[in-house]
Chain A
Amino acid sequence: MKEPLLFVKDLHAWYGDSHILQGISLSVWQGRASAILGRNGAGKTTALKTIMGLIQRHSGLVRLGTLRLDELPAYRVARAGVAYVPEARGVFPSLTVQENLTVSARPTQGDWSIERVFDTFPRLAERRGHKGKWLSGGEQQMLAIARALMTNGRLLMLDDPTEGLAPNIVEELNNLLRDLLDDGLSLLLVEQNFEFATNLSNEIYVLGKGRVQWSGSASDLIANGDVTRTWLGV
């Protein structure tokens, strides 16, 4: 098998005295999606933040292609090609839609431009002058993704993107992410929505108690009642 685009090995992270990530390993391949599943508090958000460099990495290896990320500050991780859609979206409330997009733009690296974003997300084009805080939940999610795309990264990490979205918007999101995968983008998805995640992802990592308790393909997971009952409560 080819080398993974993102390679994480034995990653540890702490919040003060609590050992939250106790050595997780995972991979994401070019043009494919991996998902991290797990119950509330399993450490999914912590895993993405630690990869991003927002939480001090205690030990472990993070590599994007051939580049080591685990020594870099968050802004360098982003510039190296990791685009991040945080939990609860993190739209900048006092910036307009357009400013949210342009402030993170790195046009020289790839082909996402503000025109293409407005083409892909016509609702954002209509609201380009509105402040981030006035957008609906669905619009905020679109903006958070569009903003991440504007960084023209190679890997897109999304933390619970379907949370709080109406079913039709979830469907729209599903189609969008499929298109992005077809374009060659790679995804690392954290999800509470089991169906959404298994539907999109090739590799699944089940996180529990700060460790990867199970990993394998989506179809294997669906067939494995023990794992889903014990670690996901599905």
Chain B
Amino acid sequence: MQNVVTEVSQVFLDPTFLAIQFLNGLQLASLLFLLSVGLSVVYGLMNFINLAHGTLYMLGAYIGLSVARGSGSFWLALIVAPIFIAALAAVFHALLLRRMQAASPMKQILVTFGLIYVGLDVVRYIWGDYSHSIPAPDFFAGSVHLLGEVYPSYRLFMIGLGWFVFIALYYGLERTRLGAVVRAGVDNREVAMSLGLNIELAFFLVFCLGCGLAGLAGVVAAPVLSVYPGMDMSILVLTLIVVVIGGPGSLRGAALGAFLIGMFETFGQVFFPAIASVIVYALMAVILLARPGGLLPVRPS
């Protein structure tokens, strides 16, 4: 008995093991970031709670699946699916979101919750009930040697992509004209409009971009997590938690929230598998008690 405990603790405290888990945490964080940034922006900027954000992720994965199968190219899927999802989001915005923006949160929740089921049925109807997978692109199909371990290089690609998107968005927000317009609109929407800025259009573009990123996340996740009806629900809750603890509407908040949840979820599963799912809720509760607006709120209260 004594022996087993020491052996187990030796494995857990092995630096290589911890480093690998850290990478796994980063990989989950990367996915959660791609997903939560759009949800966060829509909630924080447009006051709209879009529970169907995960549905866009699932649709992105399925469209990516079809494109990858049809063309044989993962990279084409990675480009086409987000564009398709962004276009779908534009239609969704025109038909529904514009009208729902003034509606009560309860109505928004009910309508977008209904959309989750619509999405589920659509996916089942078109692609069936079975679970599928998109093979990783050849270039990242193998493994790399890292600290004496083998680690799938595709997972490193996921981590890199998360960072790339974060930096690109950060640059876009801080250094481009559209970014400045969005920041002005977040600071003071009325004043921004009265200076001639079309804030509604700017936020609309941001909305489409955020939804497109959810589609991107779907394709990116497909080689690692499988593609199946309901894959949206399994990640929606974590995504919502990321939004809430990071601070709705905040880019850096979404990144920080994704990092924390990615780590706590991953290490929780490893060290305390029995209570792993409770850990992220506990973390959320603690953070919200200390900072009700999230860690990096976009508007300091």
Contacts and interface: CB of A to CB of B under 8 A. Distances in A.
Interface of A: 49, 52, 54, 73-75, 77-79, 84, 86, 90, 92-95, 99-100, 102-104, 106, 132, 147-148, 151
A86 B192 CA distance: 11
Contacts of A78: 193-196
Given A78-B196, A104-B197, A151-B195, A94 B183 contact: yes
Contacts of A95: 180, 183-184, 187
Contact of B190 (A54, A93, A151): A54
Contacts of A54: 190, 193-194
B295 interface: no
A73 B180 CA distance: 21
A93 B187 contact: yes
Interface string B177-205: 10011011011101111111111000000
Interface of B: 177, 180-181, 183-184, 186-188, 190-199
Contacts of B194: 52, 54, 74-75, 77-78, 84, 86
Contacts of A49: 190
B123 to A, nearest CB: 38
Contacts of B188: 90, 92
A96 B183 CA distance: 11
Given A74-B193, A75-B194, A78-B196, 7 more contacts: A75-B193, A77-B194, A86-B191, A90-B188, A92-B183, A103-B195, A151-B195
Given A90-B188, A92-B188, A148 B195 contact: yes
Nearest to A147: B195
A95 B183 CA distance: 7
B258 to A, nearest CB: 22
The residue among B187, B193, B195, B198 with the most chain A CB atoms within 10 A of its own CB is B195
A92 B190 CA distance: 11
B192 A92 contact: yes
Contact of B196 (A79, A93, A102): A79
B191 A90 contact: yes
A92 B191 contact: yes
Contacts of A75: 193-199
Nearest to B190: A54
Nearest to B186: A94
B187 A92 contact: yes
5 contacts: A52-B194, A75-B195, A78-B194, A92-B191, A94-B187
Contacts of A102: 180
Contacts of B195: 75, 78, 84, 103-104, 147-148, 151
Nearest to B174: A99
Contacts of B181: 103
Contacts of A74: 190, 193-194
Nearest to B298: A94
Nearest to B187: A92
B176 to A, nearest CB: 11
A92 B184 contact: yes
Nearest to A73: B193
The residue among A75, A147, A151 with the most chain B CB atoms within 10 A of its own CB is A75
A92 B193 CA distance: 12
A86 B193 contact: no
Given A92-B183, A95-B180, A103 B197 contact: yes
Contacts of B199: 75
A90 B193 CA distance: 12
B183 A151 contact: no
A93 B192 CA distance: 12
Given A90-B188, A92-B188, A95-B187, A106 B180 contact: no
Nearest to A100: B184
Contacts of A84: 191, 194-195
A104 B180 CA distance: 10
A52 B192 CA distance: 12
A4 B4 CA distance: 91
Contacts of A106: 196
A74 B188 CA distance: 14
A74 B197 CA distance: 9
Contacts of A79: 196
A84 B180 CA distance: 19
